[in-house]
Amino acid sequence: MIYKNVLFDLDGTLLPMDMDAFTKLYFGTLSKRFCPILSVEPETLVNAVWKGTSAMIKNDNSKTNKERFWEVASQECSMDLTPYIEQFDDYYLTEFIEAKKATHTTPYSKKCVEFIKQNLPEGGKLIAATNPIFPEVATMRRLNWAEVSPNYFDYITVYENSGFCKPNLEYYKMICDKCGIKPEESIMIGNDVDEDMVAAELGFDTYLVTDTMLNRKGKDYSNHKHGTFKELFDFLCGIYK
């Protein structure tokens, strides 16, 4: 079938990365900038970010992920952090670049996205379905690191516009509602067996990118289309030829 809508994961899919190294560089630069400003120890700041992230993962759409994150992170730091949000956004435009060292590019990211954009049926949507635990500014940066223009996408999930996260099925329902798409006309492409392939439960077709696959629980993924990024590109070319 020709998919009317295509959803791409970002971290680990369009942007291959060493997650442990990425996290270390991210927290290192974040702490260096904000611990002196906030007068907190690195452990306190890192714990606040983790707790805020966990709160976003469990979010029920009663608040945006952004609101939920800053609420919980502020509680963990025992201070109101919201006056510093603009400074945190500036961090993603500056020091965050260090975390790029833990990522690398693949030519197939740009090739796949450009090919899909050129060949989608009329009214079709190209969506960056990245887990919305980062602000828009950080997500735009990571797309640029992947050498994929954010302008290619009709919709990008970020913590400002989302109230759910992966692997909650409500996250994918939210995308369907906001973008006016149907799962049975769409494919979700990602590298995470738990977070991305779960979309199949709603009727999405799925493709698991195996170059950087995450399969924490050793699940059987044989019922999902799967292959390397090159094989994905060949698959898409066959679909839209």
**Where does a domain end: 101, 117, 136?**
101
pLDDT tens digits, one per residue of 138-181: 999 999 999 999 999 999 999 999 999 999 999 999 999 999 99
pTM > 0.75: yes or no: yes
Give the model's pLDDT for residue 1. 84
pLDDT, tens only, 223-238: 999 999 999 999 999 9
Euclidean distance between CA atoms 55 and 60, whole angstroms: 10
CATH number of the domain enclosing 209: 3.40.50.1000
**Domain boundary, last residue among 101, 127, 146:** 101
Helices (H), the chain: 19-38, 42-57, 65-77, 85-93, 107-119, 136-145, 169-179, 229-240
Residues 130 and 230 in one domain: yes
How many domains does the chain fold into?
2
Same domain, 13 and 47: no
Same domain assignment for residues 120 and 75: no
Shared domain for 205 and 108, answered yes or no, is yes
Domain range spanning residue 27?
A: 19-101
Closest CA to 56 of 42, 67, 44: 67
DSSP state of 16: -
Domain-ending residue, one of 56, 79, 101:
101
Residue 123 pLDDT: 96
86 and 134 belong to one structural domain: no
Does 176 lie in the same domain as 143? yes
Same domain, 191 and 230: yes
What is the per-residue pLDDT for 58?
Answer: 98
Residues 113 and 209 in one domain: yes
Dihedral sign from CA coordinates of 127, 130, 133, 135: negative
Residues 231 and 117 in one domain: yes
Q: Are residues 9 and 124 in the same domain?
A: yes
Is there a single domain that holds both residue 233 and residue 114? yes
User: Per-residue confidence of the chain (241 residues) as pLDDT tens digits?
Assistant: 899 999 999 999 999 999 999 999 999 999 999 999 999 999 999 999 999 999 999 999 999 999 999 999 999 999 999 999 999 999 999 999 999 999 999 999 999 999 999 999 999 999 999 999 999 999 999 999 999 999 999 999 999 999 999 999 999 999 999 999 999 999 999 999 999 999 999 999 999 999 999 999 999 999 999 999 999 999 999 999 7
- Pair (11, 23) in one structural domain: no
